[in-house]
Amino acid sequence: MASTSVPLTLPVLPLDDEVVLPGMVVPLELSNPEVRAAVEAARAGSSGGKPQVLLVPRLDGSYAAVGALATVEQVGRLADGDPAALVRAVRRVRIGAGTTGPGAALWVETTAFKESDRGLPVAGRAAELVKEYKALSTQWLRRRGAWQIVDRVAAIEDVGELADNIGYAPFATAEQKLKVLLEADGPARLEYALGLLREHLAEEEVNDSIRKDVEEGVAKQQKEFLLRRQLEAVRKELAELNGEADTEEEDYRARVEAAALPEKVREAALKEVDKLERASDQSPEGSWIRTWLDTVLELPWNERSEDAYDIAGARAVLDADHTGLADVKDRIVEYLAVRKRRADRGLGQIGGRRGGAVLALVGPPGVGKTSLGESVAKAMGRSFVRVALGGVRDEAEIRGHRRTYVGSIPGRIVRAVKEAGTMNPVVLLDEIDKVGSDYRGDPAAALLEVLDPAQNHTFRDHYLEVELDLSDVVFLATANVLEAIPEPLLDRMDLVRLDGYTEDEKVAIARDHLLPRQLAKAGLGGGELTVDEEALRRLAAEYTREAGVRNLERSIARILRKVAAQAELGERELPAAVGADDLRALLGRPHHVPEAAQEPAERRTAVPGVATGLAVTGAGGDVLYIEASLADAETGSTGLTLTGQLGDVMKESAHIALSYLRSRGAELELPVTGLRERGIHLHVPAGAVPKDGPSAGITMTTALASLLSGRKVRTDVAMTGEVSLTGRVLPIGGVKQKLLAADRAGVTTVIIPKRNEADLDDVPAEVLERLSVHPVSDVREVLRLALEPAEVLVAAA
């Protein structure tokens, strides 16, 4: 390093609003152009050794007369990746005139800065200042936890160097540090730094005193709170002695003790009352506890309706409210009969459970699933509550919200029991197949405990957090699509299928229930209008085609509205009667005309390659037409084309049907040899509706056989069944619904698998009388029954 007495020419590194004193080591970011230029110039002008720069404070835009000569110790990057240089301030120098040098930095000439006490022994006043400064510095550093720096400060003996150590103090301003930089006298510099340190320590003592006062104030508030609570307790005692009214908290305690709550519920409620008495009036916890206590006290813990054990009377109520639906009526009567026999013999609960029923009513829309719940409750003499589950996606809707959430409430099950006012209501869980799931949980999974007879006697709602006995509740769940109900949930319920009504049942329902209700709604009473039975039968057969009776009721309502309007306009005199011949004038042409009633040339099966199948949809059973066509050999198209939004299983059935016919062509006398050069197109109309399932297998086989043989499929024949590669007809589901659909469509002959013959027991007798049902086990039997004989074709030709 050059001598301190020799003038030096150094690049200027300006420090805006910052002062670096000798002995300090600081990093400087090279993102500043002036800093970068000075460092680069110093490195370029260095002839050996470490590059040197002049650190000059620049306050309010003006440069100081004295700077710090510094060496560039290292150039690299900071922890955040920005480039920086590490510089060490060595000594003070005076700044002279500007000059030139390498790089874009400003170069100046410097002269030595003489310090009066440099190198002199420390004695007298200076020694006292050193001792006091070290003591105060140690005190300040210990407060900050900087124990390593304490030893370094204690080892400094030079007065000026000790004073320059104030440059590291964050409480010293740039102006104060500049004053230390400009001071040449070491003791004076140390005395000034000592004053800054004394002032800062005094300020910290004041802050500590304020903080201590705040803490004491908080402790005083807590003490005041406790004393106020004690005062309230004393006032309660005085109120009791004087016979005065109780406070709100005491009122809750009295209500809990007076209520006939189960033992565990009573203990939980008293704990919450204790918390309420300890909580302040301003605490939000108080309102949460009050809401919880109100909910618990409003629940009918020991209220139960007496079951109507008049079994015959209960059956009469069910028969009066609903026509048909024998299965569900039998199930309710069985439940009541068992309850009655247990009550007569004095048999109590079984393992803490009272044996409530859980029934799943599955069927198409409009068959009376929802209204059946009210009839069941009336027949049993119980309260009825309906819980709509369609579109519910939050698990908390079933189990409730935790009380920690703002606005938390119990789940729908607890609210239903509360609304019913008894612990044994009939609860209808409507549209259980339309429950969804998302990030908020799966409500269907939360229903598992609710609908499990082995678990629901200890149902625990998240809001209540006490056990609620649901074992005496009769749960009725309704659904349109059985497959949409999760299997674990369905396993906990007794399944009762409502497959739809026959035409006779629809007429009876319309006569006994729908027509009287709609007459009252239309204001046509006192025998002003009658609708004869033949008109109702035609409405059910030709103007509606459904498993239920909703559209039938709408058609009746439309007739009554038109008659009421005509009466008000003077176009019709009342009383009046509506017959079958009046329907076209009131409702227009029929919407559903059976194929058998159409002209032979207009029927779908009037050409070869069209067969009538039977299917089950969400709206019940329905007929399904399958069409097949053969491409011209000249087009060059080959293979099998499938259209109509068919699912994978249905597509596989088409391939199986074609493979079977190809393998048995000679046996069946079908020209299958030319299929290699000609493509087959199989289409299922109503292309906008997705379709799937194996039950159209024999229908596809019949359509293809009709196409290849040129023999038409009989108009009065419909069929259902799965086909195998060997030509076996395999069993399918939904036989009752499919036969009801065939009856509605005017079909007279139905082909079903032989192994489904036992399912005919579920089909109403009047439907079986109108249908000729043929159970088959082989495709050859199907073709024999479904295709018109070859001799008929010859005669027609």
Active site residues: 695, 738
Strand order in the sheet with 358-362: 384-388, 426-430, 474-479, 358-362, 494-497
Q: According to the annotation, is 369 in a ligand binding site?
A: yes
Q: Which contacts (CB < 8 Å, 24+ apart) does range 648-655 have? A: 648/692, 649/692, 649/693, 649/694, 650/684, 650/691, 650/692, 650/693, 650/694, 650/696, 652/694, 653/694, 653/696, 653/697, 653/700, 653/722, 653/723, 654/682, 654/700
Beta bridge partners, 384, equal 426
The sign of the torsion formed by the CA atoms of 414, 418, 424, 428 equals: negative
Alpha helices, DSSP H only, in 573-626? 583-587
Beta strand pairing call for 358-362 and 474-479: parallel
Distance CA 369, CA 390 (A): 15
Q: According to the annotation, is 48 in a ligand binding site?
A: no
The first and second tokens of residue 207, run together, are 């802050």
Which of these, 324, 328, 314, 321, lies nearest to 516 by C-alpha position?
A: 321
Q: According to the annotation, is 643 in a ligand binding site?
A: no
Q: According to the annotation, is 608 in a ligand binding site?
A: no
Q: Which contacts (CB < 8 Å, 24+ apart) does range 511-514 have? A: 511/536, 512/323, 513/323, 514/549, 514/552, 514/553, 514/556
The first and second tokens of residue 632, run together, are 């011209």
Distance CA 104, CA 790 (A): 109
Q: According to the annotation, is 134 in a ligand binding site?
A: no
Helix, strand, coil: what percent of the chain each, to 5? Answer: 50, 20, 35
DSSP string, 299-341: S-TT--PPP---HHHHHHHHHHH-SS-HHHHHHHHHHHHHHHH
Amino acid in position 11: P
Beta bridge partners, 576, equal 529
Q: According to the annotation, is 623 in a ligand binding site?
A: no
Identify whether the C-beta of residue 467 lies closer than 8 Å to the C-beta of residue 264: yes
Which of these, 754, 758, 756, lies nearest to 781 by C-alpha position?
A: 754
Identify whether the C-beta of residue 101 lies closer than 8 Å to the C-beta of residue 41: yes
Which of these, 643, 647, 650, 641, lies nearest to 690 by C-alpha position?
A: 647
In what helix (H) or strand (E) does residue 250 lie, and over which residues does it extend? helix 248-258
DSSP string, 68-105: EEEEEEEEEE-TTS-EEEEEEEEEEEEEEEEE--SSSS
**Beta strands, E only, 321-435:** 358-362, 384-388, 426-430
Distance CA 159, CA 131 (A): 10
Give the C-alpha distances (Å, rounded to integers) separating 147 from 158, 164, 417, 482: 21, 19, 68, 75
Alpha helices, DSSP H only, in 514-549? 515-522, 533-538
Distance CA 783, CA 768 (A): 22
Cα 427 to chain centroid, rounded: 24
Strand order in the sheet with 610-617: 640-643, 680-683, 620-630, 610-617, 717-719, 749-753, 772-776
**CB-based contacts of 613, cutoff 8 Å, min separation 6:** 623, 624, 625, 626, 695, 696, 699, 718, 719, 720
Which of these, 615, 790, 629, lies nearest to 704 by C-alpha position?
A: 629
The first and second tokens of residue 585, run together, are 């004038």
Q: Annotated binding site for ATP: which residue ranges?
A: 363-370
Q: Annotated binding site: which residue ranges?
A: 363-370
